Amino acid sequence: MAWKTLDDMDLRGKRVLTRVDINVPVRDGKVTDATRIERIAATVQDILDRGGKPVLLAHFGRPKGERRDDMSLQPLIPTLERVLGARVVFAADCVGAGAQAVVDNLADGEVALLENTRFHPGEEKNDDALATEMAKLGDVYCNDAFSAAHRAHASTEALARKLPACAGRLMQAELQALDSALGNPERLVLAVVGGAKVSTKLDLLSNLVEKVDILVIGGGMANTFLAAQGIDVGKSLAEHDMAQTAREIAEKAAARGCELLLPRDVVVAREFKEGAESACVPVEKCPADAMILDAGPDSVAHVKGAIERAKTLIWNGPLGAFEIPPFDAATNAAAAYAAERSAEGKLVSVAGGGDTVSALNKAGAADDFSYVSTAGGAFLEWMEGKTLPGVAALDQG
């Protein structure tokens, strides 16, 4: 591990200012998916076990520097208390006298939760003065928010430079998984990249063709690549203005010896709705009035063959319009096979970013993947080869 972790810190009697990402989905005041809260539990428990006082710093939503009742962290307390198994004491501001009093009065075994950092305009500006105020509330800084590490904000970047700064357990697990997938992977390395648009994943594709041995492109993005080869994709979602870019990525892949896998057969339909009448056709045979909504069985067989050859898999994005059956078939089948190879110990599989986790959950495959990231944007930026400011600011190990 290149960065310091909780193992390198003396925590006894120390206030551990811990940046977490508990930006969880909430409906009618209730948390609908507690995954991100569950994934910080090991860090909080570890701090408590070693006699430290966890003081949680977090953002919630995008309040843009204003105090907004609908973006308070307070409604998360019951879920936090249930998952962490500890009393959580709330401070209505992340800096100042009120927060100071909460931290000073924290009993052993209790956890402090400070209000949404983004209520302060200085947070997103990575403001040094705000970070100085935050730093008064801790002796040690621990960043466990990998999924917010692509933001250079006061609580993720400037603050890390004011206190001894280490990675929390979740941050550590995320960094180790990413390293095993793209940093120091076992070869062959296979990347599966799906999703709607090439234009949002240009940097990612350019970086991947340099690093991986096989690249599977799926979803709407594949249509753009097919159209760029002169294939008529009918009414399919495709970015025709990206044709030149798609050709350049394909050329770069060829020059680097990266095998590019595009669909060979496709599932087409005239309507995008559940149970719509659909047909499977060779990729050159998409009717002019139809849309490509999924990869076909022959394509899935090729993806499975690639999974079988690979020792490492990195997955981002679905292969088809997975939200609506039957257009989830290719994603489900490929994900299930990757899960099976992983469970057999034959594949290291790492997934993350955007829709990926919900697609894998829907396929029932997430549990058997080697690692499923909690991150959306941060995972993508890391796949693009970018340095994440919240990681770079941690102390070197």
DSSP 244: H
Annotated catalytic residue: which of 36, 118, 169, 211? 36
Nearest 5°: the CA angle 170, 175, 181 is 125
- The footprint of ligand 3PG (CB under 6 A) covers 21, 23, 62, 147-148, 151, 376-377
- β-pair type (371-372, 348-351): parallel
CB contact at 8 A, 25 and 376: no
Q: Which is nearer to Mg ion, 234 or 354 (CB)?
A: 354
Q: Which of Mg ion, ligand 3PG, none lies near 21, with the C-beta cut-off 5 to 8 A by kind? A: ligand 3PG
Dig out the tokens for 174 from the structure. 């995320």
Stretch that binds Mg ion, among 160-168, 175-183, 313-321, 374-382 (CB under 5 A): 374-382
Total residues at the site for Mg ion (CB under 5 A)? 2
To ligand 3PG, the closest distance from the beta carbon of 119 in angstroms equals: 14
To ligand 3PG, the closest distance from the beta carbon of 390 in angstroms equals: 11
H helix or E strand, kind and range, residue 316:
strand 312-316
State how far Cα 204 lies from the chain centre: 14
61 contributes a contact to Mg ion by CB under 5 A: no
Q: Catalytic: 354?
A: yes
Q: Which is nearer to ligand 3PG, 147 or 349 (CB)?
A: 147
To Mg ion, the closest distance from the beta carbon of 191 in angstroms equals: 21
Q: How far apart are CA 60 and CA 54, in angstroms?
A: 19
Annotated catalytic residue: which of 197, 252, 285, 304? 197
Q: Which of Mg ion, ligand 3PG, none lies near 23, with the C-beta cut-off 5 to 8 A by kind? A: ligand 3PG
For residue 229, the cross-strand partners are: none
Dig out the tokens for 130 from the structure. 């705000």
Please give the backbone phi and psi of residue 13, each rounded to the nearest 5 degrees, phi first.
75, 5
377 contributes a contact to Mg ion by CB under 5 A: yes
CB contact at 8 A, 320 and 219: yes
Q: Which is nearer to ligand 3PG, 200 or 229 (CB)?
A: 200
Q: Pick from 6, 38, 4, 7: which is nearest to 21 by CA? A: 38
Dig out the tokens for 155 from the structure. 């609580």
To ligand 3PG, the closest distance from the beta carbon of 321 in angstroms equals: 23
Stretch that binds Mg ion, among 70-78, 238-246, 288-296, 368-376 (CB under 5 A): 368-376
Q: Catalytic: 36?
A: yes
For residue 90, the cross-strand partners are: 113
To ligand 3PG, the closest distance from the beta carbon of 385 in angstroms equals: 19
Q: Catalytic: 197?
A: yes
Annotated catalytic residue: which of 219, 296, 353, 354? 354
Query: CB neighbours (10 Å) of residue 204?
Result: 24
**Which residues are at the interface with Mg ion (CB under 5 A)?**
376-377
Would you please indicate which residues are annotated as catalytic (active-site) residues?
36, 197, 354, 377
